[in-house]
Each structure stands twice: as structure tokens, then as C-alpha cells.
Chains A and B, each alone.
Chain A
Amino acid sequence: MVPFDVILAGLAGTFTPVVLLYVLAGVVLGQFVGAVPGIGPVMAIAIAIPFTFVMEPLVGISFLVGIGKGGLVGGAVPAVLINTPGTPDAAATALDGFPLARQGKPLKAMRMALYSSVTGDTASDIILITVSAPLAIVALKLGPVEILFLLLLAFTVIVCLVGGTIARGGVALLLGLLLATVGLDPEYATPRLIFGQTELYDGIPLEAIALGILVLPEVLRRLAQGSGLSRPAVEIPAGQPAADRSISWREYWSCRFAMLRGASIGTVLGALPGIGSTAAAFIAYAATRESAKDPSSFGKGNIQGIAAAESANSAVVGANLIPLLTLGIPGSVGAALLIGAFKIHGIQPGPLLFDQQAELIYGLFGAMIAANFMNFWVGQAGMRLWSAVVRAPELVIFTLALLLCITGVYLGAGGMFGLYTMLACTLLGLVLSALGFSVIVFIIAFFLGSRFETTLSQAYSLTGGSLQELTNYPVALALLVVNLAFIALYMRKQNRRALPV
């Protein structure tokens, strides 16, 4: 147990002007890069890491955490305003955020996203600070076999609830998994589906596929139909009543279960390495829609949908640090970069961290909570800025977005090659949606694909390929039963819908 005075000293370390200033700078930078399609907080963290070498460890790491947290808030802005999520994590937010903005209530949608994001983030930070050690031990006990069945359950949930029908969702899922196999196979380093392109050794760049599938189709669609310079990208009716601009306490409170559900799902998935915030957002969204009295109102501007998605994706950030700080295992790309930052300063995340660096860790916890407050205030101020920006003509906004996508993917995904890949992905995205396949199922499958493949190969090696050995893994079998029950229930419901009695 860490002595109380060390905890206090650590927290006191947070409340120095330098640390607070860098947290603020990180949050501002994070919200900005999150809101601008094409760059994203992960790339911003990667670029910022070498600069933190000259900083004190607490300052440097707090700065990076600030960028990550700001990015999750920022990503929701373009998702809501112009249906182009700045980061894939915010794709679920667009489902209800954008329809609400289209109804002339973009500020209401952005506020709901901000409030639930900060709520989910704070909830998972509190869990990190109070019970990370026991949670980490539970996460340790879940080995590859259990994770494999958890991933299968996640696939089922997403296919059934986001994919339209099981058949359509299944096709989108398989396509996403197929694309994730591009590159060197992890076991023998044999090139697969690269057609002689050495740039594809590490697979299709994430940036190219996220922007190509999620952002560019919308940008191109809007540019194609654009009525030129006259129409603003987002119209806010003049003399709008306050209720359409803000979120009342009553509305916030009505979303408490959606936020709680989102924060819980985000925390659990965040504590398990490799599943990630995009999946968490969609699963929370789907769960909230299914448990609502009026599921049909989702996708049309229901604030419950925004609340579920945003609280879930933000909760992943704090929870990602549970395996990182206690075991030295990164739960996401952003967390992996943080390990690099710790190492530059000669700090090895792991079991000794709380003993040897308790002051630093509690300083970091303080900085995380401070970052949540700053996220709130910077977000409030930023909203006015963004809503003013998108009142500019559509042609300007979407041309700019196109330009940013091109720059971002050029920088982040290997130059012209990244650009060509992004264009190919755009075509694929357009074809998929024209044929009625869910691009969202596709992209989640792509994101989880390599983890799925690794887990599958691990589970195969661990059991020696024998199904009989599965009986040694009761948790995995329980997950399989839940999975089958979910499919059965879903099919029954579908049948009832199809055949009204």
C-alpha cells in the first residue's frame, strides 16, 4: 500500500504551473488534432514523444495523456457536425450526433458528446485510481482462449446490431477480416495479398482505411451535391430557443444509464488489451439501443445514443492504463506509445512502478483528473469556434476536409502510397454502402482483425489444436454459451418482426 503522504506529494506535483500548463497544452492540441480529419491523437502523440525527452517525466507524460484525452473529445466534433469522424472512435457518435445537427441542433449534440465524454472518462479514471490492481489480476487470468471467445462475442453483437441482417453484417465482417490479413503473416513472416508491394508488409495503413472508409465518401458526396458557395455546411436556425442549444440537467440525468453502460463497457474493454475504443463505442451504442423503450428513435438524433458512444470511447483511455501501469502491457496504440515515453525517462511500467515511482504515478493520476476538467472547459470554448467554422460554405469546409485528409494520410501512412491506398479504400467504401453492407462492421472487423488472428493462433497453440482441451477453459465456454444465446434471441426477434402475428 502506498503511504498517504506519498499520494499527497504526488498530487501536489500535479498542481504546479508547469504540469498544469502542459496538460492544458496537451488537451488543446489533442482536441484540435482530434477534430481535424487526417491527423488524429495517435499521430500527434508519436510526434510529441521525442520532445518530451527534455521534460521532467511527470510533465512529459501528462502532456501526452492530455493529447490522448483531448483527441477523444475533439474526434466527436466533425462526427457530429459533418458526419466525418475525425477519429474512428467517434464513428458511433456520428450515428445520432449528425442527425441531431441536421435538425439544426449541432450545439446540443456537441454538448451531449462533451458531457458524456468527460463523464465516462472521469468514471474510468476513478476506477483506475482505486481498483486497478485487482482488475489487472482479473485481466491477467483472461488468456488468449478467453479473449478469442470474447472477440467472437463482440463480432456477433456488432454483426447483429449494426450490420442490418446477419447475412449482410457477416459479409462485411469477413471482408474486414480478409483485408486485415494483408501483410506479413505473424507466424512465419510470409507475405500475404501484397501483390509485390513491400509497403504493404505491415498491412494496410490504419489512417488510410479510416479516412478512406469513414471520411472521404461523405466529403465527396457533399462536394458532388454541394450547391456551391451559398449553402453553409451546418445551418443553425436564427433565434433558436436555448433548449435546442444546450443540454438541461434533466436531459443529462435521463442519459445516466446510457453513460453508466458506456463507461462500464469502455472500462472493461479498455482493461483488456487489444480490443479498443471503436469497438467499445459501438457495443455500448448497440446495447443502449436494444435496451431502450423506443429503439427506432436511435439513428435519428437520440441523445442517448451520443451519450453511450462517447462515454464508452472515453472510458477506454483511463482503463487502457490499467494493464499498462500495473503490468507494462499496452491496451492500444496510444498506450503503446506511452510505454515508449516512460522508457525514454528510464521508467519501466510494471509491478514495481507503484513501489518505485508512486509519487510520479499519483502525479499522473492528478494530471488525468485535471485533464478531464480542462477537456470540459476547452471543449466548451472550442464548440463556439467549431460551430462558427462550419457556418462557412459547404464548398469551403469540404474542400478543406479533403485537403486535410490528403495531408494527414500522406504524413501518416507512407507518402503517395498511403494516398493511393486511401483512394482505393474510398472506392471500396462507396461500393460497400451502395450494396447495403455496413462499412462500420467492416472497419471494426478490420481493426480487430490482427488481434483476432493472433489470438486464434495463440489459442490453437495453447490447446494443441484439440477441441477437447477447451473443457479446461470454463470462462471461454461460458462466453460461447452467451454468444449462442444472443444469436438465438436475435433470430427469434427477427422472426417475430418478419412475421407479425
Chain B
Amino acid sequence: MKLNNLLKTAAFAAATALSLPQAAAAWTPEEPIVLRIGFGAGGETDTMGRVLAATIERQTGWDVVVENRPGGGGVAMLSALVNEAPDGLVLGMAVNIPPLMALSQRPDSVPFTLDSFDYIGTVTVAETALIAGGDAMFSSIGELVEFARREGSAKIAWDAPDAKAILQKIGQQEGVSFRMVKAESGAEMNKLLLGGQVDAAFGTGAHLPFIEEGQMKTIASLSDKRLSSAPDVPTLIESGHDFFIAPYFYITAPGSLPTDAKTALADAMDKAVADEAVQTVVQNAVSAPAVNLGPEGTRQMMQDSLGPIGALFAQ
């Protein structure tokens, strides 16, 4: 195991050592790079973006300036980003779900398509759980459905529209009523669950201490894989409901970047995501490991996600 890690590190170091001078020779920014974060200052995305920017500065010697451009879960930032010159000096950090939702639901109201951008890489993919109070009478999605059938309805707190849509679809399929209660944050979902106002909620990290304490339990994984925090709990897909959520945090740039700039940026980002400081902050912020899919992987992920997101919100 240790040897394996060592080998990986060595291989990685060799790879970066080989690729770096080449990239550096081909492209270096002459002005500071601006990283626009599609969320407000102080939040999780902002925190991860700022540490990533600082790490790139430290590793490459470039100047990276962070700007907050909140609005519509990143859609406002992306709407402005498409109009910037594709010189590699302006980048944006967003989460994939809000723009994919906007593109599938109201494409006419957003000034971009998926092809308007070049993709640099991803930072992480957050994990989502369906949770309930520790003493709830149900422990799986099937039992939750039965609970709702018996009681007339089940109240479920949500803070992301895709999670809400999935539960609504399940409710329709099973013919039971889920009263979906909108919350503004993971913390507020915890409050509603602990206060007994709702029967279940979604967990995106803020719930983990309560799981440890036994005040909450995990009912299902809403990710496409089992959760690192609850490896014994099946996914929705395993339970026969073909839905999942994969909120990727990614870095993008206005389309048609020069190849050398794109390569240099992608290399710098890959090296930064592998950095220990970034790994730690990402783990702390979203309770999931840092993951970089790289430029092509990110583009592929965005294209592959558009269809399922559209289907989720179709009536």
C-alpha cells in the first residue's frame, strides 16, 4: 500500500517534472489571472477557490486574483464570463447543477451553451445523502415510502432543486405524498430535522457530526456510488430508483483558448488539486476528497450530465 502510494507519487512527480518546463516555456500569463467565483465570499466554494488560487500562485509564481461574482448559483458569473476575451487570464469557478438546470429548462434565458466554454478541470464532487432522525421509524427509501403511505404524507426538507425533483419523482412513481419543505442551507435542514418539523432531509456534510452522535441516520446515498461516510447504505439506484446527484465543482474559461494556455492552466490546476493544502480544505469544506477530471473529463462530465438533469425536471 505504502509502496504503491510512493510509486504513484514518484510517477506523478516525474510526469509533472517532464511536463512543467515545456508548458512554462509555451505559456506564462503576462498579467494577473482573475478567478471569478460564482458564489459569495466566505462560503464553501469561495473557500476552496481561494485556497486553490493561492496554491497555484505558490506553485507557478503566477498572480491569481480572486473575485466573487455571486448570482443564480454561478449562472450570473458564467453569463458574464462568455463575453471575456479567451486569453486564459479570466477563469470562473462554478458548480455544474445550476447552469445545467438553466440550460435544460430555460436555454433562451442564458447567454451561453456548454460549448461556449473551455474546461480546465474539476475540484471535487460533493456527496449527498438522504437522512432522517436517529429514532425515525424508517431506515431505507422503501421504508420511507411506506411511512408516507401510512401517515398520509412525509415531510422532507431540501435545499437543492435536483434533490427535490428526485424525491418528487419517487413519490409520483410510488403514489405517495412527499411534502417538500425548502431550506436555505444544510444547517437549516439539520434544524428542521432535529426540531421534528420534518421527517427526512438531504445531507451534504453539515449533518455528519449528528450521524456520529446518533441523532441522525443515513437512509440512502443520492450519489452514483455509496457514500464515504456511510458505506453500508445503498444508493437509490441499488434500491431500484434510477436517479443520482453529482454536484461537480469545476473551473472553466471562455471558449477557444489557445492550446498552449489551456495546457498550462490545466497542468497548473492539476498540480494544485493534488496539493495537500487543497486536499485538506476540500475535505473540510464538502466532506469529500478533491478530484480533478482534467479538461476533457470535465467537458465529458458536463455533456453527459445535461440529459439526466433535463429528464429529472421534465414534467
Contacts and interface: CB of A to CB of B under 8 A. Distances in A.
A325 to B, nearest CB: 12
A53 B182 CA distance: 32
Given A143-B192, A340-B46, A198 B155 contact: no
Contacts of B42: 45-46, 49, 336-337, 340-341
A348 B210 CA distance: 10
**Chain B binding surface, main DSSP class:** helix
A202 interface: yes
A454 B187 CA distance: 15
A228 interface: no
A344 B180 CA distance: 31
A462 B181 contact: yes
Nearest to B181: A461
A454 B184 contact: yes
Contacts of B221: none
B161 interface: yes
Contacts of A344: 47, 281, 284-285
A117 to B, nearest CB: 24
Among A49, A189, A341: residue with most chain B CB under 10 A: A189
Interface string B162-197: 000000000000000001111111011011101111
Interface string B208-239: 11101101000000000000000000000000
A457 B188 contact: no
Interface in A187-203: 187-189, 191, 198-202
A346 interface: yes
Interface string A339-360: 1110111101011110000000
Given A329-B187, A329-B188, A199 B182 contact: no
A188 B154 CA distance: 21
B46 A198 contact: no
Interface in B27-78: 40-44, 46-47, 50-51, 54, 69-73, 75-76
A328 B190 contact: yes
B274 interface: no
Contact of B155 (A43, A350, A461): A461
B132 to A, nearest CB: 16
A327 B70 contact: no
Contacts, number: 135
Nearest to A48: B42
Contacts of B180: 461
Interface residues of B, number: 54
B60 to A, nearest CB: 19
B72 A201 contact: yes
A273 B188 contact: yes
A47 interface: yes
B109 interface: yes
B305 interface: no
B79 interface: yes
Interface in A126-153: 140-144
A461 B179 contact: yes
Contact of A462 (B46, B197, B215): B197
A328 B187 contact: yes
In this complex, which of A144, A352, A414 has the most chain B Cβ atoms within 10 angstroms of its Cβ? A144
B75 A201 contact: yes
Given A327-B194, A339-B187, A350-B206, A464 B181 contact: no
Contacts of B69: 414
A330 interface: yes
B264 interface: no
Nearest to B208: A348
Interface string A452-469: 001001100110100000
A420 B204 CA distance: 37
A114 B313 CA distance: 54
B285 A199 contact: no
Given A186-B184, A329-B190, A464-B153, A202 B71 contact: yes
B101 interface: yes
A343 B47 contact: yes
Contacts of A43: 41
A295 interface: no
A144 B197 contact: yes
Nearest to A353: B209
B113 interface: no
B191 A329 contact: yes
A475 interface: no
Nearest to B101: A189
Contacts of A353: 209
A46 B98 CA distance: 24
B191 A140 contact: yes
Nearest to A323: B191
Contact of B41 (A47, A191, A343): A47
Interface string A158-188: 0000000000000000000000000010111
Contacts of B54: 50
B284 A346 contact: yes
Contacts of A346: 280, 284
A187 B182 contact: yes
B83 to A, nearest CB: 11
B136 interface: no
Nearest to B68: A46
Contacts of A327: 187, 190-191, 194
Contacts of B114: none
The 4 closest A-B pairs by CB, nearest first: A201-B72, A46-B41, A201-B71, A143-B197
30 contacts: A46-B42, A49-B42, A50-B50, A50-B54, A142-B195, A143-B192, A143-B195, A144-B192, A186-B184, A189-B101, A189-B102, A199-B71, A199-B76, A201-B72, A327-B194, A328-B209, A329-B187, A329-B190, A329-B191, A340-B44, A344-B281, A346-B284, A348-B206, A350-B210, A351-B213, A352-B212, A414-B69, A454-B183, A458-B182, A461-B182
Interface of B: 40-44, 46-47, 50-51, 54, 69-73, 75-76, 79-80, 98, 101-102, 109, 153, 155, 161, 179-185, 187-188, 190-192, 194-198, 206, 208-210, 212-213, 215, 280-281, 284-285
Given A202-B71, A462-B198, 4 more contacts: A49-B41, A184-B72, A273-B188, A329-B185
